A and B are shown apart, each in its own frame.
Chain A
């Protein structure tokens, strides 16, 4: 009869393999790594997981992540409030922030319009955009969605939500087709930001 792991190990492997990009082999390796460490490491790891879930919330203005009602970017006085960059995810925001090319505010959609996966415009952080743009007096909106057909459709949808006197651009060049913003290198993403395209 094949050897069976103790229940607690299988459970950890099972939980770890639910993480994106982690198959059962990697999950097993990680589980044994944790087992090899001091008990303090396991406590720290578990504590960090619980804390992040308890503390991190969506910024009530832009949808970004932080520990307060408003995120650090929304409260920073030096940010340019006349320009706004719309991104699919927090990871994309971080990637663009790292380029240092953009000093305005952000708006995080938490997805792209994909009716095929049951995600319509109403399921995203889209309706708030028009109000924010008007309230803040934003004059330029940069849509930084992926260069996929869904990224393009979402960008076009945002263009329609906004008045004609708001300039709406979309980052385009520099990003490979079928690529994802989160994984682009800095130089590529920096170029894409400076060579953004006007929509409609």
Chain B
């Protein structure tokens, strides 16, 4: 899958950028704060309708403007589709080949991206919220429909939280939100479990290849409302959990149980990496995870995803950086890389370098 053209208007600090990306490597070079990452984020929004960093619509629009646009020509084999997203404070609208898209399933699955950002290296030591974002981003790429159910789930959580803070709480309404959350929350957890199950063997394999050693890597999803979530009746479990946490939720003014509070743990030789792994092992984990994710997409969708690498070399040691570019030279899809220093990017030929400066691209 190749992005043949990309136009970005009023997206964060990018006022009007229009480029024809190279089918292989695109290297965006520039100092910090010039808009390199915003370009990657624009591609991410075009693919998933979500920001790389989980930002709200309003935060994606250039200061003083009402809406932002991202538009691109996406080639997949013989088919070429023109995709367009408008981001406004109250929501996003999408067009395919000029026609408004109502059925979002039609949209998702059109463009698959895998992203890799500097913060990813710290994911295991970061907050549960960052870990969920990391996990969810990978699932959006592999199971596009996940985005729909995840958005609906988040929407209901917000409505329930507001209803909990009402002067007079309407318990009949909270009951309804509990049922809506149980159905959607169960699906969110099922999809996360399925992802962890499917990625695990590949993750172990690629981690072993990077580390030249088998350290028994294990990734486990931790579900706050079901101790053994695999095979459990998650709808029933979440419904029960929501009901028993209602008094607490009302006191705190928000929903304290559900997949939006879950987490995952990665352990190495039985010990949680969060506490025991070295910096090098953390880097190896995240690199192995991304390689596993790419392999899963290539197999599942029969096409290489678009890779978005945000300043990753700055966070990888020379050995891991070399390993990354070894992998990339064997990868046959399109890659977008940002860097402050083109020296970090070890690719020969088949690439186009773009200079990014003050929200513009040369």
What residue of chain B has the Cβ atom nearest to residue A153's Cβ?
Answer: B176
Q: Output the least CB separation between B219 and chain A (Å).
A: 30
Instruction: Check A114 for interface membership: any CB of B closer than 8 A.
Output: yes
Interface membership of A130, Cβ < 8 A: no
SS class, residues of chain B in contact with chain A: helix
Mark each residue of chain B from 200 to 240: 1 if its CB lies under 8 Å from any CB of chain A, else 0: 00000000000000000000000000000000000000000
Chain A stretch 147-162: residues in CB contact (< 8 A) with chain B: 149-150, 152-153, 156-157, 160
Instruction: Check: B319 CB closer than 8 A to any chain A CB.
Output: no
Please name all residues of chain A whose beta carbon is closer than 8 Å to the beta carbon of B148 when the two chains form the complex. 177
Q: Which residues of A contact B160 (CB under 8 A)?
A: 115
A127 interfacial by beta-carbon distance below 8 Å: no
Does B290 interact with chain A (Cβ within 8 Å)?
no
Interface centre among B103, B165, B176, B180 (most CB of A within 10 A): B176
B1: min CB distance to chain A, Å: 24
A115 lies within 8 A of B176 (CB) = no
Q: Is B329 interfacial (CB-CB < 8 Å)?
A: no
Interface check B158, CB cutoff 8 A: yes
Chain A proximity mask over B33-60: 1 for CB below 8 Å, otherwise 0: 0000000000000000000000000000
A113 within 8 A of B: yes
Is there contact, CB below 8 Å, between B170 and A149?
no
Q: Please state if A116 and B158 are interface contacts (CB–CB under 8 Å).
A: yes
Contact with B along A166-187 (1 / 0, CB 8 A): 0000000000111100000000
Chain A 114-157 interface residues, beta-carbon cutoff 8 Å to B: 114-116, 118, 120-121, 149-150, 152-153, 156-157
Q: Residue among B66, B165, B177 with the most chain A CB within 10 A?
A: B177
Given A121-B173, A153-B159, check contact A177 B180 (CB 8 Å).
no
* Contact, CB under 8 Å: A177 / B104: yes
- Measured as residues with beta carbon below 8 angstroms from the partner, the interface class of chain B is 20 to 34
Task: Assess the A149–B173 pair: CB atoms within 8 A.
Answer: no
Report B-chain residues with C-beta under 8 Å of the C-beta of A176: 102-103
Please tell me which one of the listed residues A157, A177, A178 contacts residue B173 in the complex, with CB atoms under 8 A apart: A157
User: Bound complex: CA of A23 vs CA of B159, how far in Å?
Assistant: 30
CA distance A198 to B159 in the complex (A): 24
Tell me if B31 counts as interface (CB < 8 A to partner A).
Answer: no
The residue of chain B having its C-beta at the shortest distance from the C-beta of A150 within the complex is: B159
Q: Is the CB of A157 within 8 A of B158?
A: no
Q: Is the CB of B177 within 8 A of A153?
A: yes
Taking the closest CB of chain B, its distance from the CB of A112, in whole angstroms, is 10
Q: How far is the CA of A162 from the CA of B205 in the complex (A)?
A: 58
Closest Cβ–Cβ distance, residue A149 to chain B (whole Å): 5
Q: Does B32 contact A (CB under 8 A)?
A: no
Chain B neighbourhood of A177, CB < 8 A = 103-105, 148
Binary contact readout A82-122 vs B (1 if CB under 8 angstroms, 0 otherwise): 00000000000000000000000000000001111010110
Q: A153-B176, A153-B177 are in contact. Are A120 and B159 (CB under 8 A)?
A: no
Render B162-188 as a binary contact track against A, CB cut-off 8 A, 1 for contact: 110110001011001101100000000
Instruction: State the Cβ distance, A22 to closest chain B Cβ, in Å.
Output: 12
Which residue of chain A lies nearest to B152 when distances are taken between CB atoms in the complex? A149
Q: In the bound complex, how far is the Cα of B164 from the Cα of A115, in angstroms?
A: 9
CB–CB B163/A156 < 8 A: no
A120 touches B180 (CB 8 A): no
| B66 proximity list for chain A (CB < 8 A) | 23
Contacts of B156 in A (CB 8 A): 149, 153
B positions within 8 Å CB-CB of A: 66, 102-105, 148, 152, 155-156, 158-160, 162-163, 165-166, 170, 172-173, 176-177, 179-180
27 residue pairs of the A-B complex, CB under 8 angstroms, read A114-B159, A115-B159, A115-B163, A115-B165, A115-B166, A116-B158, A116-B162, A118-B162, A120-B163, A120-B170, A120-B173, A149-B152, A149-B155, A149-B156, A149-B180, A153-B156, A153-B159, A153-B176, A156-B176, A156-B179, A157-B172, A157-B173, A157-B176, A176-B102, A177-B103, A177-B104, A178-B104
Please report A residues at the B interface, Cβ cutoff 8 Å. Answer: 23, 113-116, 118, 120-121, 149-150, 152-153, 156-157, 160, 176-179
